[in-house]
Amino acid sequence: MRTLFAVVNALLGLVLALTPFWLAPVCSQMAPHGGPMKCYYSGLFIAGMGAVVVVLALFALLRRGRGWFAVLASLVAVAAAVACLLVPNGVIPLRGAGWVCGLCGDPTHACRAVTMPLVRKIAAAIVALNVVSLILSFVRGGR
């Protein structure tokens, strides 16, 4: 059962990582200052969090989901999925030198109309899968 959870988690993480630039691309227009728009940086963040979910799921698969590593992998996957919802929407501000994560102000832009609805569904599936995995892990005592 843990192997199944790890495989599904890896697949969902892969889909999350591919969403902002391949499956449902963010806006391709340039910002007025000539650089990428802030939804581009949100896409990078989402792709990175998807990669984290994939890597941890693969480590859990290699360890066959035994021990506290599987629990830690599930907790990190939940945190990464929740961060994919909060950072692009500005609840958790993330910015650096000359860049900021966020979404476009126009609701018709691709980042708001296409990318984020798909990211929300994938992130919700990752959270639900890992919460069920954690509950089963604690109920069965296999952590």
| pLDDT tens sequence across 92-101 | 998 888 888 9
Q: Higher confidence at residue 21 or residue 140?
A: 21
φ, ψ for residue 99, nearest 5 deg: -135, 155
- Could you read off the pLDDT of 117-142 as tens digits, one per residue? 999 999 999 999 999 999 988 888 75
Say yes or no to pLDDT of 33 above 80: no
From residue 133, alpha-carbon distances to 1, 3, 60, 67, 111 in Å are: 9, 11, 12, 13, 31
Confidence (pTM): 0.89
Beta partners for residue 100, in sequence order: 95
- Give per-residue pLDDT as tens, 47-101: 999 999 999 999 888 876 567 788 888 999 999 999 999 999 989 998 888 888 9
Question: What is the Cα–Cα distance from 41 to 103, expressed in whole angstroms?
Answer: 9
More confident residue, 33 or 52: 52
